[in-house]
Amino acid sequence: MPQPDLFAQPAERAAQLRADLARYDHAYYVLDAPLVPDADYDALFQELQRLEAEHPELRTPDSPTQRVGGSPLPAFAPVRHAVPMLSIQTETDTTPQGAVAFDLRVRNKLGLGPDDPPVTYAAELKFDGLAISLRYERGVLVQAATRGDGETGEDVTQNVRTIRSVPLQLRGNPPEVLEIRGEALMKRADFERYNARQRERGLPTLVNPRNGAAGSIRQLDPSIAAQRPLAFYAYGWGEIVGWSDQPDTHHAMLDAFEAFGLPVAPQRVHGAGPQTLIDFHARIAAERDSLPFDIDGVVYKVDSLALQRELGFRNREPIWAVAHKYPAQERSTRVLAIDIQVGRTGKLTPVAKLEPVFVGGVTVTNATLHNEDEVRRKDVRVGDTVIVRRAGDVIPEVVGVILDARPADAGEPFDLYQQLGGRCPVCGGPIERRPGEADWRCVSGLSCPAQLKRTIQHFCSRNVVDIEGFGEEIVSTLVDSGLVESTADIYKLTKEKLIGLSLSGGGSIQDLLASKLLKSIEERRKLPLSKFIFGLGIEGVGEVASKDLAKFYGSLDLFLQSAACVHMLIEGIGVELAVGIDDFIHEKKNLAVINTLCKEIEIIECRPAGVDNFLFNFLSAVKRWDSEISKRNKIKPKLRGVGEKSLRNLAEEFKALDALLIGTSPAQDLAQMQSLLRTDDQCVKAVLFFEKNKYLTHVMGTEHPAISPRLRRILISKFGFSDEQLGAMTEAEGWRIVYHNNATGDRKRKDEKNSLTVCFTGFPEAQKKSLEEYSVTHGLMPKSSVVKNLKFLVTGPNPGPAKLARARELNVPLLTLDQFNNFIETGEIPS
């Protein structure tokens, strides 16, 4: 250890100490090869702390003493990423074939034939933590941000500074600006240690290392974050400015990062062709359990940055990278009991209580059995030995029973109604299973405490309204005590009411906890409309649908006044969901909760005057529908000539649909629009027809031969369909006849399944084979000859004349390889 230089100036001495400590940190945390004993390190650290205390001007942001310097934040500030943080596609085939498919995709896209040289790839781990972007300016860490929605993340600099392997200052000669992308994670040993300590103190434990990492990074108090040690590994980059000799391959970039002192996992390779990837996949499968942290698979990337640029992106995912997972892990164990849980919407889910078993990195004691039919199909009984599977983050499930191991005293075949005596296990109310549905439900709604608790928990949960502290235990306590009878009651809590409530896990709510809970509530008295809608917990309305609804309506009033047929105008909202939303917001109890909530909180609407926005969205949907139907039936669109600008003008001028319907104006556009909308009933039905045509095509495509009884009921009660009409809709063709008879025209459409065939001609044999395999992975059916209904014939350099002639005869479109690739990407067939 260097001896302290007693005559050095404080500034020089501080700089020396900082440099030494950073070097020791790097050796200890990144290289895993300590240079000095802990006691020496501590002595130097304390010396630096003393110096900085005496001379605060010497305290620099990259000083090792500043790793845990910050005070708790009120909230994280948003950070807009200079380069978006994207995700990657996952290869679902977990066999080596998955790597081959990726190679084929890349080669095809690059236009490489079988005789062209192999592509060089880099392979690395897929870390299972939290994506982080580190921003270094002139080598100093200035900001760390989470991924967020990819465009905007949260500023978590204070917490990331506590990660000891993240250098505060880069070594060597780093570029002017360097954004490092990587993953923060918790090593298994740190996870176990943390949980053991928590258990000792009777405090809550972490479910898995990933939650530990996420919780630590998103902790507002950096001193708490520092108690949960995390690691970081770099795998990519964002913005880079002023790097004159920047490497031109992915692997060389990672090597350069390592030289800058950044942690890069040693499990990485690069090499030519898919065999490199297959070998890496197999090697990591074998090493997986002995890695110090959990992984989520491996990642393959095209090594050359020039080729990466050429390949580009599709659906905001790089074409040049893919994640390759491992098969889900399975273990066998015994079923101790089959419990029935009541979900947020009253759904009764059978859950197997298991003899604890270690699967995929966690100890599993519960596994879902989904629903009654599933239990019966698998014939799971108490006492059985079953196979349990856990993949990634999903809830563990029972795959099947080992029938040979069934004991003589195994339970009876499962019968949910009988087991519950026909009553909800929580509220004792009636249960029902409607025809056509797989689930039994408790029908008591929010008067069932289980449903109420889960609804409140949902409302408070992190990705919804995010009221901190309202987890299972607190919510349970509040509901059981009778203090909270609806979500709105959360906002009426006071310190007096809270203090002294006894907690189910022992103890009672004290002053400190009460203040914390009240503070979290106060912070959420203002909500964006989308969060409010999401928080209501309408079945099937998740984050995406909530955002879409909020955007479409712009204001809560409009949303509440709307109707199912209007919800359906939103892309992605089908009839069942639309009717479900409609039922929910017209239910008296729900409306009462919504009204009370509105008194307690302020909803930030999408636009201050949402009306014009909504009307414009509505009119645009009608316009889309009009042109779609006319095209299909080869008739003139009714709204011909009414463009986006006219729609905007109409929306501006009339502000509401009623006003527009009865309004007068010299504009021709208005007359056209009115003539379409005034045929009120037909308009609504036409919209329904159009939307539902899509819906039914979808449903039927997935092996449901007929309209479900539920949909049937809905169509009768909500839209007045006749039995005759419904009867015709039970078959695909019948549905179309109803559709066309009611609208216009009477043309049939081709059966889509038969039209997904493709044939290749004029390619070298090997390339043809690989193209055929490639087609299969994209849902096409390769044919060896030109048959009727062939979707298209893809022609290579030497197409067979007979095939070409036959294709012309049958009117089969001819595609070049480029056009075919374009079709795979966009679904477009050039005319």
Do 85 and 153 contact (CB within 8 A), yes or no?
Answer: yes
Distance CA 270, CA 119 (A): 11
Q: Which stretch binds ligand IVH (CB under 6 A): 85-93, 155-163, 554-562, 749-757?
A: 85-93
The CA-atom distances, in angstroms, between 81 and each of 77, 86, 237, 253, 468 are 13, 11, 11, 20, 26
Distance CA 42, CA 38 (A): 6
Distance CA 262, CA 284 (A): 22
**Residue 524 main-chain phi, psi, to 5 deg:** -120, 40
Task: Please tell me whether residue 514 binds ligand IVH under the rule CB under 6 A.
Answer: no
Q: By CB under 6 A, how many residues form the interface with ligand IVH?
A: 15
Taking the CA atoms of 481, 484, 486 and 487 in sequence, report the sign of the dihedral they define.
negative
Task: Please tell me whether residue 307 binds ligand IVH under the rule CB under 6 A.
Answer: no
Of 18 and 210, CB closest to ligand IVH: 210
Do 814 and 804 contact (CB within 8 A), yes or no?
Answer: yes
Query: Closest approach of Cβ 90 to ligand IVH, in Å?
Result: 7
Task: Please tell me whether residue 277 binds ligand IVH under the rule CB under 6 A.
Answer: no
Residue carrying structure tokens 């509901």:
479
Site for ligand IVH in 400-429 (CB under 6 A): none
Distance CA 202, CA 506 (A): 10
In terms of Cβ atoms closer than 10 Å to its own Cβ (0-12, 13-18, 19+), residue 116 is: exposed
Q: Which stretch binds ligand IVH (CB under 6 A): 1-9, 83-91, 94-102, 766-774?
A: 83-91
Residue 75 CA from chain centroid, whole number: 23
The 3-state secondary structure of 170-219 reads CCCCCCCEEEEEEEEECCHHHHHHHHHHHHHCCCCCCCCHHHHHHHHHCC
Of 299 and 706, CB closest to ligand IVH: 299
What tokens were used for 800? 């067979």
Task: Please tell me whether residue 154 binds ligand IVH under the rule CB under 6 A.
Answer: no
Of 299 and 619, CB closest to ligand IVH: 299
Task: Please tell me whether residue 86 binds ligand IVH under the rule CB under 6 A.
Answer: yes
Query: Closest approach of Cβ 75 to ligand IVH, in Å?
Result: 23
Q: What angle do CA 18, 213, 534 make, to 5 degrees?
A: 130
Task: Please tell me whether residue 183 binds ligand IVH under the rule CB under 6 A.
Answer: yes
Q: Which stretch binds ligand IVH (CB under 6 A): 120-128, 672-680, 689-697, 748-756?
A: 120-128
Query: Closest approach of Cβ 296 to ligand IVH, in Å?
Result: 7
Q: Which stretch binds ligand IVH (CB under 6 A): 86-94, 431-439, 453-461, 735-743?
A: 86-94
Of 210 and 390, CB closest to ligand IVH: 210
Query: Closest approach of Cβ 79 to ligand IVH, in Å?
Result: 16
Do 570 and 552 contact (CB within 8 A), yes or no?
Answer: yes
Distance CA 500, CA 508 (A): 5
What's the DSSP call for residue 421? T
Task: Please tell me whether residue 545 binds ligand IVH under the rule CB under 6 A.
Answer: no
Q: Which stretch binds ligand IVH (CB under 6 A): 107-115, 123-131, 604-612, 675-683?
A: 123-131
Of 68 and 88, CB closest to ligand IVH: 88
Task: Please tell me whether residue 318 binds ligand IVH under the rule CB under 6 A.
Answer: yes
Q: Which stretch binds ligand IVH (CB under 6 A): 6-14, 73-81, 124-132, 603-611?
A: 124-132
Among 76, 127, 232, 300, binds ligand IVH (CB under 6 A): 127
Q: At what angle do helices 680-701 and 668-678 cross, to 10 degrees?
A: 70
Query: Closest approach of Cβ 308 to ligand IVH, in Å?
Result: 9
Distance CA 600, CA 521 (A): 11
Do 67 and 161 contact (CB within 8 A), yes or no?
Answer: yes
Among 131, 185, 367, 426, binds ligand IVH (CB under 6 A): 131
What tokens were used for 181? 């992308």
Among 49, 60, 66, 87, binds ligand IVH (CB under 6 A): 87
Of 87 and 223, CB closest to ligand IVH: 87
Query: Closest approach of Cβ 317 to ligand IVH, in Å?
Result: 7
Task: Please tell me whether residue 88 binds ligand IVH under the rule CB under 6 A.
Answer: yes
Residue type at 757? T
Query: Closest approach of Cβ 302 to ligand IVH, in Å?
Result: 11
Mask of contacts with ligand IVH, 592-631, x by CB under 6 A?
Answer: ----------------------------------------
H/E element, 814:
strand 814-815
Query: Closest approach of Cβ 125 to ligand IVH, in Å?
Result: 6
Of 235 and 695, CB closest to ligand IVH: 235
Distance CA 479, CA 452 (A): 8
Query: Closest approach of Cβ 748 to ligand IVH, in Å?
Result: 43
Do 438 and 371 contact (CB within 8 A), yes or no?
Answer: yes
The CA-atom distances, in angstroms, between 512 and each of 73, 74, 292, 505, 519 are 18, 17, 37, 17, 11
Q: Collapse the DSSP code of 45 into the 3-class scheme (helix H, G, I; strand E, B; otherwise coil) and give the result.
A: helix
Q: Could you tell me which residues come within 8 angstroms of residue 426 by beta carbon, excluding any fewer than 6 positions away?
A: 342, 442, 448, 449, 450
Of 318 and 396, CB closest to ligand IVH: 318
Among 29, 41, 235, 260, binds ligand IVH (CB under 6 A): 235
Dihedral of CA atoms 559, 561, 567, 569 in degrees, nearest 10, equals: -100
Task: Please tell me whether residue 460 binds ligand IVH under the rule CB under 6 A.
Answer: no
Of 322 and 431, CB closest to ligand IVH: 322
Q: Could you tell me which residues come within 8 angstroms of residue 724 by beta carbon, excluding any fewer than 6 positions away?
A: none
Query: Closest approach of Cβ 328 to ligand IVH, in Å?
Result: 18
Query: Closest approach of Cβ 318 to ligand IVH, in Å?
Result: 5
Q: Which stretch binds ligand IVH (CB under 6 A): 125-133, 389-397, 434-442, 769-777?
A: 125-133
- Radius of gyration of the CA atoms of the chain, in A: 31
What's the DSSP call for residue 442? E
Active site residues: 126
Site for ligand IVH in 250-269 (CB under 6 A): none
Of 119 and 456, CB closest to ligand IVH: 119
Among 101, 217, 256, 321, binds ligand IVH (CB under 6 A): 321
Task: Please tell me whether residue 17 binds ligand IVH under the rule CB under 6 A.
Answer: no
Among 186, 225, 299, 556, binds ligand IVH (CB under 6 A): 299
Distance CA 512, CA 352 (A): 38
Query: Closest approach of Cβ 124 to ligand IVH, in Å?
Result: 5
Of 126 and 281, CB closest to ligand IVH: 126
Of 293 and 739, CB closest to ligand IVH: 293
Neighbours of 810 (CB within 10 A): 13
The 3-state secondary structure of 239-278 reads EEECCCCCCCEHHHHHHHHHHCCCCCCCCEEEEEHHHHHH
Q: Which stretch binds ligand IVH (CB under 6 A): 28-36, 61-69, 118-126, 615-623?
A: 118-126
Of 181 and 524, CB closest to ligand IVH: 181
Residue 470 CA from chain centroid, whole number: 23
Task: Please tell me whether residue 124 binds ligand IVH under the rule CB under 6 A.
Answer: yes
Distance CA 365, CA 388 (A): 10
Task: Please tell me whether residue 236 binds ligand IVH under the rule CB under 6 A.
Answer: yes
Positions in the binding site for ligand IVH (CB under 6 A): 86-88, 124-127, 131, 147, 183, 235-236, 299, 318, 321
